[in-house]
Chains A and B, each alone.
Chain A
Amino acid sequence: MSLYLINYWVAIALLLIGLYIVMSREHLIKKVVGLSIFQTAVFIMYISMGKVFGGSPPIVSEEFSVYSNPLPHVLILTAIVVGVATTAVGLALAVRIREAYGTLNEDDILKIHDEDAT
């Protein structure tokens, strides 16, 4: 068991915290925050994989010969911007739910929904 796996373990721990928030908390905006923690956990895992000891950022220059891996950086860079765009959609949905049901607590929403159905 290598200590150098600790980055991945922390990423896993963050992912679990995000997952737990999404499942166990009832306020929808808190769930959105939980989702974004889940997301950053994946980012941390990817970026950790691309790190090379002794490497420099992947901007090529004659003074350096070792660089960290640019591929995870590209994937995560776009993922972050797409992430904020989807967060915005989530928040817009939350605002509409609040206007329709008068609350953002999931239990209350489900209760109102069930009452409407019967």
Chain B
Amino acid sequence: MTETAVFAVNLALLAMLLVTAVGILKLYNLFAVVMVSGMYSLLCAAFFVLMDAVDVAFTEAAVGAGLSTVLMLAALALTRPNRKDGDHKALNIPAKIVTFVVGLLLFWISMDFPGFGDPLAPVNQHLAPQFLTEGPEKTTVPNVVTVVLASYRGYDTLGETVVVFTAAVSVLCLLGVLRGNAPVRSKTTEADEEEFQEFNSQIILRVITKYLTPFILLFALYVQFHGDYGPGGGFQAGVIFAAGLILYGMVYGIDRLRDVVGQKHRVPLRLAGLGVLLYAGVGVASLMLGGNFLDYNVLAEDPRQGQHLGILLVEFGVGLTVTNVMILVFLTLAGRGYRDGVTSGPMSLSAELQDVEDLQNEKEAKPS
């Protein structure tokens, strides 16, 4: 694409992003807010593709548009009444002043930025050319993003994986691993049963999900093990694999998903930790073989093969952790308050419908 074409598409995408963000600001119905934020993430992903950041776009499409929307819906379903948003009356003017001042300062700073797309900008000098020429030579991995992620910045990625794992531990601490003491959701009786029966008749959704799930899982494995040659890697694959299982859980009910991953979440609980252990274990192995921590050169006779092997193993560890953390978080958030056996219907469907009803009632009440 020519420079002008890229810039024109760029402008269009940025305009759409701004409109959706303002929409989120102005909307008070929280169900609508969550859905629009899913659209916003999808637009972000399109923008990242245009910026040549294919790996990032991949992640954003799977995480932002998929997973975080589902998690927010689950949280909304758990916090059903009182879910209308409102303004802080007292904070309205101070908030505007702070926003204005911060904006002014940032705008002033942005004047010194190098132009967009400039190959001579300082950010594109120094390290980046070195990564691009040296990285694939030293590792036989052509995807430079994967090389930098798993090898050059291996310490950093280990840290990120631990952060993701810690987040899962925090969610489990807050909401409980075994839902023994979790409060039972108030409305899980007749209405939900009825809704579940109604949902059972949605044969198209159920059949398509059944056919789609294996392909999503297969695609996740492809993304995982092809991440060194094309866009992809542990983070993306983990999220996609989890998304496949979560889709199954949403359509067929949490209990059916629990049958897959084990009651009391036994499997994901262990595998999430195993991923971090595998990553750190590769580091320890390279220490034992006489190299530095996470220096993959010593893992094989040929240092280049060693690098490739190390990158694959480390990415697999990341994938394991991310998959299981996402499944755990979904199960704890969406499964909270469900009694075993009573409700196996789709989560939050009633809350969503209720929201739409509320909105309509509101409109009718205020004809002006």
Q: In the complex the two chains form, is A71's CB within 8 Å of B128's CB?
A: yes
The answer to whether B53 touches A72, judged by C-beta atoms less than 8 angstroms apart, is: yes
Whether A50 and B148, one on each chain, are in contact in the complex, defined by CB atoms closer than 8 angstroms, is no
Partner of B78, one of A1, A30, A49, A95: A95
Contact: B127 with A71, CB < 8 Å? yes
- Taken together as a complex, chains A and B put the C-alpha atoms of A32 and B22 apart, in Å, by 16
> Which of A6, A7, A20, A95 lies in contact with B25, CB distance below 8 A?
A20
- A32 to B76: give the CA distance in the assembly, Å: 12
Inter-chain CA distance A43–B322, complex, in Å, is 20
State which of A14, A33, A84 has its C-beta within 8 Å of the C-beta of B33: A33
In angstroms, how far is the closest chain A Cβ from the Cβ of B342?
Answer: 19
Assess the A107–B123 pair: CB atoms within 8 A: no
Count: A-B pairs, CB below 8 Å: 305
> What secondary structure prevails in chain A residues at the interface with B?
helix
Q: Is the Cβ of B30 less than 8 Å from the Cβ of A30?
A: yes
Q: Which residues of B contact A40 (CB under 8 A)?
A: 40-41, 44, 64
Q: Is the CB of A43 within 8 A of B56?
A: yes
B48: CB under 8 A from chain A?
yes
Q: A71-B148, A95-B75 are in contact. Are A88 and B51 (CB under 8 A)?
A: no
Could you tell me if A27 and B86 are in contact, using CB atoms closer than 8 angstroms?
A: yes
Q: Mark B39-77, 1 if CB is under 8 A from A, else 0.
A: 011001001100111111001100110011001101110
Q: Are A59 and B144 closer than 8 Å at their CB atoms? A: yes
A73 touches B167 (CB 8 A): no
Is there a chain A Cβ closer than 8 Å to B273's Cβ?
no
Contacts of B153 in A (CB 8 A): 74
What's the least CB distance linking B145 to chain A, in Å? Answer: 5
For the residues of B in contact with A, the DSSP-based class is helix
> A residues within 8 A CB of B131?
70-71
Docked pose: A5 CA to B91 CA in angstroms: 32
Closest to A81 in B: B235
Q: Is A52 an interface residue (CB 8 A)?
A: yes
In the complex, whether A113 has a CB less than 8 A from a CB of chain B is no
Residues A86 and B167 in contact in the complex (CB < 8 Å), given A32-B72, A57-B231:
yes
Using known A-B contacts A47-B51, A78-B235, A98-B79, determine if residue A19 contacts B99 with beta carbons closer than 8 Å.
yes
Among listed B106-114, B202-210, B213-221, B255-263, interface-contacting one: B106-114
Binary contact readout B132-158 vs A (1 if CB under 8 angstroms, 0 otherwise):
100110000011110011000100110
Interface contact A73-B322, CB-CB below 8 Å? no
Contact partner, A33, options B24, B79, B94, B116, Cβ 8 Å:
B24
Which residue of the partner chain A has the closest CB to B100? A16
Report A-chain residues with C-beta under 8 Å of the C-beta of B322: 81
B321-349 near A? 1/0 per residue, CB < 8 Å: 01001100100110010000000000000
Q: A18-B21, A67-B52 are in contact. List 9 more A-B contacts (CB 8 A).
A: A24-B87, A27-B83, A40-B41, A74-B149, A77-B55, A82-B167, A84-B63, A85-B163, A88-B333
Would you mind naming 20 contact pairs between A and B with Cβ atoms under 8 Å apart?
A: A20-B96, A23-B98, A24-B92, A29-B33, A33-B34, A37-B40, A47-B51, A48-B51, A49-B121, A58-B52, A58-B143, A60-B142, A74-B145, A77-B145, A77-B235, A80-B235, A81-B235, A84-B239, A85-B329, A92-B175
Mark A residues whose CB is within 8 Å of B. Answer: 1-2, 4-10, 12-21, 23-27, 29-30, 32-34, 36-37, 40, 43-44, 47-61, 66-74, 76-78, 80-89, 91-96, 98-99, 102-108
Please name the 8 residue pairs, one residue from A and one from B, whose CB atoms are nearest each other, closest first.
A85-B167, A68-B52, A53-B117, A23-B95, A4-B115, A27-B85, A91-B75, A92-B174
